[in-house]
Structure formats: structure tokens, C-alpha cells
């Protein structure tokens, strides 16, 4: 996957984080300016803990609901925007850091 930002949100300084967020907002505005159409959102997990426990999830939705969809996820540490090798737009959302033991205690 090709990152569409200069660097991952996890590597940004405070100023770079603001720029990163502006870039993300501009991309979302461009998406919303396109005609709306039905599409599927695929959610996969990359961290070892969740990857072992979860199969990819598929959601039927439409293009203009992408912002709502992202906001409903566990995104405490930001989002990176990427382009896959198949030219699909991908968002890598970074949730709150925790361990498996802490997660099971909730």
C-alpha cells in the first residue's frame, strides 16, 4: 500500500499532525464532491491480537457515508490514508493502545 501522506500519523510532530488532518479532511471533501453510489467497506485488522480473532468484515453502504463510518470506529490515535495495489482507497485507523489482558478486563 502507498501512503498518501508524507508520513504516518504515528510519526508526526504536533504541527505535522495538524497538516496531516487537513490533508485527510481535504480528501474527504473530494470524496463528498463525487456522485454518491453504493459501495462496500471492508474492515480488516492488522494487529496480531485482533487479526487472529476477527475475519474481515464487509459493510454495504454508500460513498458519502465514509466519514460517518470512520467516526464510528476506534480511532483514538489518528488515521492514515493509503492506496492499495488494486487502486482501492484505504484508511488505516489507529485505536487506543492496550494489551490483550487489559482488553479482556473490560
pLDDT tens readout for residues 54-101: 777 788 889 998 888 877 776 777 889 999 999 988 888 877 654 434
Residue 24 Cα distances to 34, 43, 70, 91, angstroms: 16, 19, 12, 10
Task: Dig out the grid coordinates for 3 from the structure.
Answer: 501512503
Q: Are 36 and 46 in contact (CB under 8 A)?
A: no
Q: What is the pLDDT of residue 38?
A: 93
Element (H, E) at 90: strand 89-93
Alpha helices per DSSP H over the chain = 14-33, 48-53, 66-71, 100-104
Amino acid at each position: 500500500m502507498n501512503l498518501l501522506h508524507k508520513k504516518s500519523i504515528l510519526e508526526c510532530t504536533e504541527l505535522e499532525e495538524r497538516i496531516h488532518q487537513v490533508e485527510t479532511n481535504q480528501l474527504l471533501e473530494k470524496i463528498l464532491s463525487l456522485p454518491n453510489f453504493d459501495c462496500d467497506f471492508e474492515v480488516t485488522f492488522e494487529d496480531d491480537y485482533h487479526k487472529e480473532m476477527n475475519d474481515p468484515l464487509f459493510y454495504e453502504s454508500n460513498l458519502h457515508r465514509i466519514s460517518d463510518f470512520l467516526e464510528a470506529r476506534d480511532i483514538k490515535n489518528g488515521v492514515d490514508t493509503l492506496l492499495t495495489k488494486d487502486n482501492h482507497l484505504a484508511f488505516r485507523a489507529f485505536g487506543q493502545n492496550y494489551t490483550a489482558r487489559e482488553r479482556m478486563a473490560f
